[in-house]
């Protein structure tokens, strides 16, 4: 495939980084629309998204620095290559840091957390679809060997160098499967956003659908570096997928809400009740 989209002089524009950046921009633009549907200030959603993005980038890079400190201390120039490293653990660290920063900012700005999460669910799924297309071009998160007609074969040495992608072997385009799943999820969430029963439903549905998609697509991803649990029955991302589904089910549960009712002290509503109360005593 195409790990490098193009060159600007001696500067290399990697496919993964370019598509991931495009996905971020598309998600930010879409979030402005979903914020209005969720009755949230779009400017506040923009600020929260930018903060979460920076937290995710910083958190993931710090993890790489800590994990590779021995080598980086001897070769400081390798710091510039950390942006080419893609690993499930790095992705998990980025997601955790971004989510914590967004939650903290929402509480600090007194944003309604459930409504804000609803506004961000579809844009997040949309952005992840772009990210997976970038992974497909770069060979990151590659699939298992395949004899299917739609299998892809990588030949670029950069894919092997940056992502460890095997060359000359037909592989499942599992990144394309994930991208299609994320795009479908984004469309479903956009359609359901104005129809949701209660705040948080769209975010809960995103958790469940993303968890299912992640769990299923992992069967076609190469297991190297993804962990092994329960005798190889599950890998790390699949355990995370199960946690997502369970969390989504909790968020989607029916929550009791206080009836709106008339404001206290409303004479139009209070008079009959008071009269009936007094008649009972009489």
Q: Where are the domains of the chain?
A: 4-254
The distance of Cα 81 from the centroid of its chain, to the nearest Å, equals: 24
Query: In the block, which residue shows the tokens 């892809």?
Result: 152
**196, 207, 10: which is closest to 121 by C-alpha?**
207
pLDDT digits (tens, 9 = 90+) for 57-87: 887 777 766 666 665 566 565 555 545 556 5
Contacts of 223 (CB under 8 A, 6+ apart): 235
pLDDT for 259 equals 41
Q: In the structure, what pLDDT confidence band is assigned to residue 132 with cuts at 50, 70 and 90? A: very high
Query: In the block, which residue shows the tokens 């004899």?
Result: 147
**233, 246, 242: which is closest to 215 by C-alpha?**
242
Mark residue 168 as left, alpha or beta (left: phi above 0; alpha: psi -120 to 50; beta: remaining): left
Distance in angstroms (rounded) separating the CA atoms of residues 216 and 208: 12
Q: In the structure, what pLDDT confidence band is assigned to residue 13 with cuts at 50, 70 and 90? A: confident
Contacts of 157 (CB under 8 A, 6+ apart): 167
Pair 111, 48: CB distance under 8 Å: yes
Using alpha carbons only, how large is the chain's radius of gyration in Å? Answer: 24
pLDDT at 209 over 90: yes
**3-state secondary structure (DSSP) of residue 57:** helix
pLDDT digits (tens, 9 = 90+) for 105-127: 888 989 999 999 999 999 999 99
Longest dimension (CA), the chain: 95
Q: Which phi and psi (to 5°) does residue 31 adopt?
A: -65, -25
Two structure tokens written together for 75: 């070769």
pTM of the model: 0.80
pLDDT at 258 over 50: no
């Amino acid at each position: 495939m195409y790990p490098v989209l193009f060159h600007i002089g001696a500067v290399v524009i990697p496919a993964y980084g370019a598509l991931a950046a495009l996905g971020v921009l598309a998600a930010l633009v879409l979030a402005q629309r979903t914020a209005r549907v969720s009755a949230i200030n779009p400017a506040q959603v923009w600020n929260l998204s930018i903060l979460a993005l920076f937290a995710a980038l910083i958190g993931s890079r710090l993890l790489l620095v800590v994990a590779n400190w021995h080598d980086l201390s001897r070769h400081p120039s390798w710091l510039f290559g950390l942006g080419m490293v893609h690993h499930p653990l790095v992705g998990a660290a980025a997601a955790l840091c971004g989510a914590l920063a967004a939650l903290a900012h929402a509480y600090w700005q007194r944003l309604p957390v459930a409504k804000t999460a609803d506004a961000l669910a579809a844009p997040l799924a949309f952005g992840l679809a772009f990210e997976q297309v970038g992974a497909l071009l770069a060979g990151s998160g590659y699939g298992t060997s395949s004899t299917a007609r739609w299998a892809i074969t990588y030949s670029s040495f950069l894919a092997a160098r940056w992502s460890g992608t095997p060359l000359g072997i037909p592989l499942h385009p599992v990144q394309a499967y994930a991208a299609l799943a994320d795009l479908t999820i984004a469309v479903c969430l956009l359609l359901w956003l104005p129809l949701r029963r209660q705040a948080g439903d769209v975010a809960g549905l995103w958790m469940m659908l993303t968890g299912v998609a992640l769990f299923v697509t992992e069967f076609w991803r190469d297991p190297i570096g993804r962990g092994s649990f329960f005798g190889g029955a599950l890998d790390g991302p699949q355990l995370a997928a199960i946690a997502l589904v369970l969390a989504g089910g909790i968020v989607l549960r029916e929550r009791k809400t206080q009836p709106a009712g008339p404001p206290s002290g409303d004479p139009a509503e209070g008079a009959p009740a008071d009269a009936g109360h007094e008649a009972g005593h009489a």
